[in-house]
Amino acid sequence: MIYWNSLSDFLQMGGHGPFVWGSFAVTALVFAIEIMQIRRQRRATESSIRDESYATEKN
Amino acid sequence: MFSSGINWFKYAAPQRFYALSGTLIPYCVAVAVIATIVGLTIGLLIAPSDHQQGESYRIIFIHVPAAWMSMIIYLAMAFWAAMGLIFNARLASMFALALAPTGALMTFLALWTGSLWGKPTWGTYWVWDARLTSELILLFLYLGFLSLHAAIEDTRKADRSAAVLAIVGVVNIPIIYFSVKWWNTLHQGASVSLTKAPTMATQMLTGMLIMTVAFWAYSFAVSFYRCRTLILERERHTAWAQEAVK
């Protein structure tokens, strides 16, 4: 069922390995960066709201 | 006419959407992960090579989903931005803003993967043909939307100005889509269209469609997540938002 005869066949992609893997790797990297960025943004917003409401409660 | 009747739309909707999207995100993530695993297994391990392009065609399994999402997200962004502008609906504007970065990334990926596909196929990374140029303009429209929004201090004013830009830019979408028909481009014609049977092998088509499901689910998950942060940011002075971050 698997099309490839060997792992090195798979990695070489018929000589087009850098193009194929360059596409897939950058896509994975971009998604990973986006996920990290939205989580960081979320944490920053949460903590700034917490600080602010804490300051209000104290007064 | 609309101002008094839709108070709930203006004030309660962000809070309700915050709860609803929070429930939906895990399902979107699950669909994205499963579809990615299945789609990549088919695309990279099972599907045969293309008789004309050899193995480099496998870039299609991310190139086409990214390119479709770049256009679909733009239409969704412009739609919600317009809703925000016309009905003064804050949530709609927030969702439009939440979609823009993901749309820009999808556009970048369509260009990046297309470029790496172009080199072995056409012998060049880039050519100023109609399809590629209009997709590059799409990237600038997303970046323009985001920078215009960031440049205006007043949030609602920023929403409205960016909405106008988004709406005007919609004209670029049919240009991208039909460019391969209207002009003589280096880019190949559509492999899948609504009007005729696909010209691809079944395994290739299946893998590509499953990867498209993955990209859809991913886009929903990250834009919901980003929208929830925007809601909290803009509702920070309400009791419910302060409660939600405790």
Give the pLDDT band of residue B1 (cuts 50, 70, 90). very low
Q: Is the pLDDT of residue B81 over 80?
A: yes
For residue A46, give the nearest of B18, B209, B184 by alpha carbon.
B18
Interchain contact, A45 vs B62, CB within 8 Å? no
With a cut of 70, say whether residue B6 has pLDDT above it: no
Q: What is the pLDDT of residue B180?
A: 87
What does the mean pLDDT of chain B come to?
Answer: 92
List, in sequence order, every beta strand (DSSP E) within A1-59: none
Name residue, tokens 């709406």: B167
Q: Which of B91-95, B171-175, B238-242 shows the lowest per-residue confidence on average (mean pLDDT)? A: B238-242
**Long-range Cβ contacts of A2-9 (<8 Å, 24+ apart):** A2/B45, A2/B46, A3/B45, A3/B46, A3/B47, A3/B48, A3/B49, A4/B45
Determine whether the interchain pair B242/A30 forms a contact, defined as Cβ–Cβ distance below 8 Å: no
Nearest beta carbon to residue B54 from set A14, A23, A41:
A14
pLDDT category, A54, cuts 50, 70, 90?
confident
The pLDDT-based confidence of B8 (bands split at 50, 70, 90) is very low
Q: What is the mean pLDDT of residues B196-218?
A: 89
Does the structure show a pLDDT above 90 at B156? yes
Query: In chain B, what residues touch A30 (CB-CB under 8 Å)?
Result: 105, 108-109
Average pLDDT of the segment spanning B232-243 = 93
Q: What is the pTM of this model?
A: 0.92
pLDDT tens-place string over residues B133-155: 999 999 999 999 999 999 999 99
Counting other chains too, the contacts that B160-163 makes at CB distance below 8 Å and 24 or more residues apart are: B160/B84, B160/B85, B160/B93, B162/B81, B162/B96, B162/B97, B163/B78, B163/B81, B163/B82, B163/B84, B163/B85, B163/B93, B163/B96
pLDDT band at residue A59 using 50, 70 and 90 as cut-offs: low
Helix (H, G, I), strand (E, B) or coil at B54: strand
Task: Give pLDDT tens digits for B97-134.
Answer: 999 999 999 999 999 999 999 999 999 999 999 999 99
Q: Which residues of A touch B48 (CB under 8 A)?
A: 3
- The string of pLDDT tens digits covering residues A27-46 is 999 999 999 999 999 999 99
Give Rg (Cα) of chain A: 23
pLDDT score recorded for residue A58: 64
Residue of B nearest to A14 (CA): B55
List of residues 6+ apart from B180 with CB closer than 8 A: B130, B131, B187, B188, B189, B190
pLDDT at residue number B191 = 75
Question: Three-state SS across B173-198?
Answer: HHHHHHHHHHCCCCCCCCCCCCCCCC
Cβ-Cβ contacts under 8 Å between A and B: the total is 90
DSSP for residue B45? I
Angle at B28 between CA A43 and CA B226, to 5 degrees: 30
- Residue B110: burial class (beta carbons within 10 Å; 0-12, 13-18, 19+): buried
| Nearest chain B residue to A41, by CA | B229
Average pLDDT score over chain A? 92
Both tokens of B41, joined, read 């297994």
**Residue B148 exposure: Cα atoms within 13 Å on the Cβ side:** 19
Distance from first CA to last CA of chain A, Å, rounded?
69
Predicted confidence band of residue B159 (pLDDT cuts 50, 70, 90): very high
The predicted model gives B188-210 an average pLDDT of 81
Q: Which of residues 1-59 of A touch B (CB under 8 A)?
A: 1-4, 10, 13-16, 18-20, 22-24, 26-27, 30-31, 34-35, 38, 41-42, 45-46, 48-50, 52-53
CA B101/CA B120 separation, integer angstroms = 30
Query: Which residues of B fall below an 8 Å CB-CB distance to A?
Result: 44-49, 54-56, 58-59, 62-63, 66, 101-102, 105, 108-109, 112-113, 116-117, 119-120, 218, 222, 225-226, 228-229, 232-233, 236, 241-242, 245-246
Query: What is the least distance, in Å, from the CA of A59 to any CA of chain B?
Result: 16
Contact flag B55-A20 (C-beta cutoff 8 Å): yes
Q: d(Cα A36, Cα B147) in Å, to the nearest integer?
A: 21
- Report how far residue B121's alpha carbon sits from residue B43's, in angstroms, rounded to the nearest whole number: 19
Chain A CB contacts of B47 under 8 Å are 3
A45/B233 touch (CB, cutoff 8 Å), yes or no: yes
B123 chain-A contacts, CB cut-off 8 A? none
* Percent above pLDDT 90 for chain A: 80
